[in-house]
């Protein structure tokens, strides 16, 4: 990397090199039987350079020819992408505990044994199809640039995904376990999925209308996607955010506090710097219902004449190879502050209502405006404070800025899921469409 930096500096004004090595192991069980074992080792390098105020970019999976990689980046300057920012000089970062070396001694056999154990434990208590997966990921990241930054990060991750499918359906109850090291799945984790599934096994067809709706942690991303868009420095700059002029205003219920905390190393994938080498920091987005901050990468902070917040990540809503992506504003460590009631207590607060346990079409609707319209896969029906079955062919629709003003209560525990770490939340007065 140092040689590449040297030759790139000789041919441009500013240079950044991003290097990532990954080792991924994954075991999948379908219908309680081993289906697949994957072992993947991959690496890659991406190069960003700035010359005469223009941005160049190239990447490779195997750094065999430095000159060719550099030439590709220089050729991309012809695209005329403006670059008014500078790469940061980052030093004196906080020391975080992001890597547990015990992950190196865990093999796919351990994952197979754990999946077998869980399948055996659950299959004796339900007739539903049990699909589970377990795996680990080790990432080694390094960023160096022409401003003098040279930062390193190693992370270890273990994940276990437990799913029980309804008969003749792809709808399921599921939950993810996400840790820095291998641990056996705790009984309470397994019991939640099993108990929720068994309680909801009966098919029901309730009347449509406006009612209480509980979003499980696994489906909170439907709402968070809308907020992420509205508070992104990119959308604010492009005048696509309805929140652009509302900093300091109360936009949600006072029970809602949402923040990004990459420095919390009790969680997997903690970060002291983002994918541009900028120092990370705690950033409140919503505080007791009030809009506190937007988030920025280097590019859009310069466009908006404000300071970067350390949220430039090689990220994309629909995924993609990290090395191939360019940094954009992104909240990678999003949290919703928990409440004081257990999940079962939340259910008891619902006279009649729907639990959103799975979502179809989360990308539909005007995301920038906060609109959502999703199919339920599944939706669980609650009657008189009890889950009595699951609903097929049902939908909910609304707007996040209305829903988040009608919060009944929030679960006391947060879970790592898609888009962040969230509790379950009950909202009032949400439109539900069913066959009736």
Q: Is the pLDDT of residue 319 over 80?
A: no
Q: Is the pLDDT of residue 5 over 80?
A: yes
* pLDDT of res. 6: 96
CB atoms under 10 Å from CB of 281, counted, come to 15
Q: Is the pLDDT of residue 436 over 80?
A: no
| Residues 207-227: tens digit of each pLDDT | 999 999 999 999 999 999 999
| Residues 121-168: tens digit of each pLDDT | 999 999 899 999 999 999 999 999 999 999 999 999 999 999 999 998
Residue 115's contacts (CB-CB under 8 Å, 6 or more residues apart) are 27, 29, 34, 132, 133, 134
Long-range contacts of 361-365 (CB under 8 A, 24+ apart): 362/221, 362/222, 362/225, 363/225, 363/317, 365/397
Q: Which domains does the chain have, with CATH numbers?
A: 2-196 (3.30.2290.10), 201-436 (no CATH)
Q: Is the pLDDT of residue 330 over 80?
A: yes
Q: Is the pLDDT of residue 9 over 90?
A: yes
Q: Is the pLDDT of residue 328 over 80?
A: yes
Confidence band, pLDDT 50/70/90 cuts, at residue 187: very high
Measuring CA to CA, which residue among 419, 302, 426, 407 is closest to residue 354? 426
Q: Is the pLDDT of residue 251 over 90?
A: yes
* Both tokens assigned to 236: 């604010």
Q: Is the pLDDT of residue 120 over 90?
A: yes
| Residues 389-420: tens digit of each pLDDT | 999 889 999 999 999 999 999 999 999 998 89
Q: Which residue has the tokens 């079409």?
A: 361
CA–CA separation, 86 vs 89, rounded Å? 9
Confidence band, pLDDT 50/70/90 cuts, at residue 318: low
The pTM (predicted TM-score) of the whole model is 0.95
* pLDDT of res. 418: 81
| Residues 257-300: tens digit of each pLDDT | 999 999 999 999 999 999 999 999 999 999 999 999 999 999 99
* pLDDT of res. 362: 85
């Amino acid at each position: 990397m140092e040689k590449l930096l040297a030759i790139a500096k000789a041919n441009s004004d500013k240079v950044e090199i991003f290097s990532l090595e990954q080792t991924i192991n994954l075991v999948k069980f379908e219908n309680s039987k081993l289906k697949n074992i994957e072992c993947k080792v991959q690496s890659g390098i991406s190069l960003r350079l700035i010359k005469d105020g223009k941005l160049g970019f190239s990447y490779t999976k195997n750094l065999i020819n430095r000159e060719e990689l550099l030439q590709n980046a220089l050729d991309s300057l012809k695209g005329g992408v403006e670059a008014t920012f500078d790469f940061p000089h980052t030093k004196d970062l906080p020391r975080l505990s992001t890597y547990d070396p015990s992950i190196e001694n865990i093999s796919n056999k351990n994952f197979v044994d754990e999946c077998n154990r869980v399948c055996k434990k659950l299959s004796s208590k339900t007739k539903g199809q049990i699909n589970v997966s377990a795996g680990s990921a080790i990432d080694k990241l390094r960023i160096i640039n022409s401003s003098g930054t040279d930062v390193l990060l190693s992370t270890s991750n273990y994940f276990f995904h437990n799913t029980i499918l309804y008969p003749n359906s792809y709808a399921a109850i599921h939950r993810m376990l996400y840790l820095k090291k291998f641990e056996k799945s705790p009984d309470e984790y397994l019991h939640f999925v099993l108990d929720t599934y068994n309680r909801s096994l009966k098919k029901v067809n309730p009347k449509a209308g406006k009612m209480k709706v509980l979003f499980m942690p696994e489906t909170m991303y439907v709402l968070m996607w809308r907020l992420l868009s509205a508070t992104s420095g990119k959308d604010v700059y492009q005048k696509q955010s309805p929140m652009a002029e509302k900093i300091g205003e109360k936009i949600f219920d006072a029970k809602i506090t949402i923040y990004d905390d990459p420095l919390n190393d009790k969680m997997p994938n903690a970060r002291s710097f983002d994918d541009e080498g900028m120092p990370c920091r705690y950033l409140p987005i919503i505080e007791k219902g009030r809009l506190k901050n937007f988030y920025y990468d280097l590019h859009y902070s310069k466009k908006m004449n404000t300071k970067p917040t350390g949220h430039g990540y090689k990220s994309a809503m629909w995924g993609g190879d990290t090395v191939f992506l360019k940094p954009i504003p992104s909240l990678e460590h999003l949290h919703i502050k928990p409440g004081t009631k257990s999940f079962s207590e939340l259910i008891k607060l619902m006279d009649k209502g729907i639990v959103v346990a799975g979502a179809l079409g989360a990308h539909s609707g005007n995301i920038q405006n906060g609109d959502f319209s999703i199919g339920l896969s599944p939706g669980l029906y609650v009657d008189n404070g009890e889950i009595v079955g699951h609903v097929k062919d049902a939908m909910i629709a609304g707007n996040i800025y209305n829903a988040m003003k009608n919060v009944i209560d929030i679960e006391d525990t947060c879970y790592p899921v898609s888009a962040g770490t969230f509790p379950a939340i009950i909202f009032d007065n949400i439109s539900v469409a069913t066959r009736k």
